[in-house]
Amino acid sequence: MHAMPHRSWLGWALSAPGIIALFTLVVGPGLVTALLSFSDWQFGATSLNWIGFDNFVAMWHDETFRKAFRNTLLYICVVVPASVGLGLMLALLVESDPGLRAFYRAAFFLPVASTLIAMAVVWQFMLHPTAGLVNHVLSWFRVAPTDWLKNPATALWTIIAIGVWSKTGLAMVLFMAGLQSIPRDLYDAGQIDGIDEAWDRVLRITVPMLGPTTLFVLTISAIQAFQVFDTVQVLTEGGPNKTSEVLLHLIYSEGFSFFRAGYAAALTVVYLLVVLCLIQLQALVVERRVHY
């Protein structure tokens, strides 16, 4: 083997495509967004003024932003635990019957694999106040029909229910993979040690062994839930009266419906900061607890 001469230009040349892509697609736009958040630029305008922190101050007083923030938090706080819990339960059920495993996996994963926009349109039909399947079925149980998407009391909860439905499959598939990686020996050892009832088995072996998987699923679900947009855009557009407004949809309407690009940029900065916090929180928990 000959010692290679130290040619740093080669290293730079080889990483150049990656570096250029990173800067043009991630770092550059990020910086531009951060800069725009301190301006009053309107989409399409040829000039702009620097207005300091005015956008952020305006945000603080903006009732719509507060609603969107609250709704997004509520969405996360319900969708994440519900879809992760349901996903775990389904994974345990499906894994216990190898015969129909493939069918159930496909059935529950379908909402994840398909386009949520298309699925949202289907939900729109199902939720139709007079012709929809949902009200029709509920009428059998003597539940009064309502316009789920136009009723301020139900609009956000309907979006949340669809969110749970669409995220459960992903959690289930990830948990199924996690379940399969638990060594069979551990259950055998448990059986000899006296861990032989289903409840003990789940609590003492399955759940702790799924620790790393659970954390991964929670993080993925939380970040995905934070990105809720398509269902809101198709089904309610944030209404009625902003009761189902969420952060990402608010950014979209400010930037591309009202063309207030500066304000949208400020919203985006806040949005990204929250995502960063979520990721940091996960990293912290990973180091603390789940490693064994």
Partner 1 sequence: MASLALQAICKSFGETRVLDRLDLEVQDGEFLSLLGPSGCGKSTVLKLIAGLDHLDAGAIRLDGRDVARVAAKHRNVAMVFQSYALYPYMSAARNIATPLEMRRLSRWQRLPVIGRWLPGAASIHAGIDASVRRVAETVSLEQLLERKPGQLSGGQRQRVALARAMVRNPAIFLFDEPLSNLDTHLRKQVRTEIADLHRRLGTTFVYVTHDQEEAMAISDRVAVMEGGRILQLAAPETLYVRPDSVTVARFIGDPAINLIPAAADASGHVVADNTQIEFLVPGRSARALTLGFRPESLFPGARAGAMQLRMRLVSREYQGARCTLALETAGGSTVHAVLPAAESPAVKRGGDWQSWSIDRAQLLVFDSEGLRVDLASAVAGTISPSEEI
Which residues are near partner 1 by CB under 8 A?
A: 183, 185-186, 188-189, 191-196, 200, 204-205, 208-209, 211, 291-292
**Cα–Cα dist 128/141, whole Å:** 18
DSSP states along 232-245: HHHHTTT-STTTT-
**Of residues 195 and 220, the one with the C-beta less far from partner 1:** 195
**Of residues 52 and 194, the one with the C-beta less far from partner 1:** 194
**Cα–Cα dist 230/118, whole Å:** 10
Q: CB 197 → partner 1: shortest distance, Å?
A: 9
What's at 128, amino acid-wise?
A: H
Q: CB 291 → partner 1: shortest distance, Å?
A: 8
Q: CB 214 → partner 1: shortest distance, Å?
A: 12
**Of residues 150 and 289, the one with the C-beta less far from partner 1:** 289
**Of residues 161 and 209, the one with the C-beta less far from partner 1:** 209
**Of residues 35 and 186, the one with the C-beta less far from partner 1:** 186
117-135: b (≥16 Cβ within 10 Å) or e = eebbeebbebbbeeebebb
Q: CB 27 → partner 1: shortest distance, Å?
A: 38
- φ, ψ of residue 216 to 5 degrees: the values are -60, -45
179-211: b (≥16 Cβ within 10 Å) or e = beebeeeeeeebeeeebeeeeebbebbbeebbe
**Of residues 96 and 257, the one with the C-beta less far from partner 1:** 96
Whole-number Cα distances in Å, 77 to 159, 170, 224: 13, 17, 12
Contact 232, 238 (CB under 8 A): yes
Q: CB 187 → partner 1: shortest distance, Å?
A: 9
CA neighbor of 287 nearest in space, from 223, 219, 212: 212
Q: CB 67 → partner 1: shortest distance, Å?
A: 38
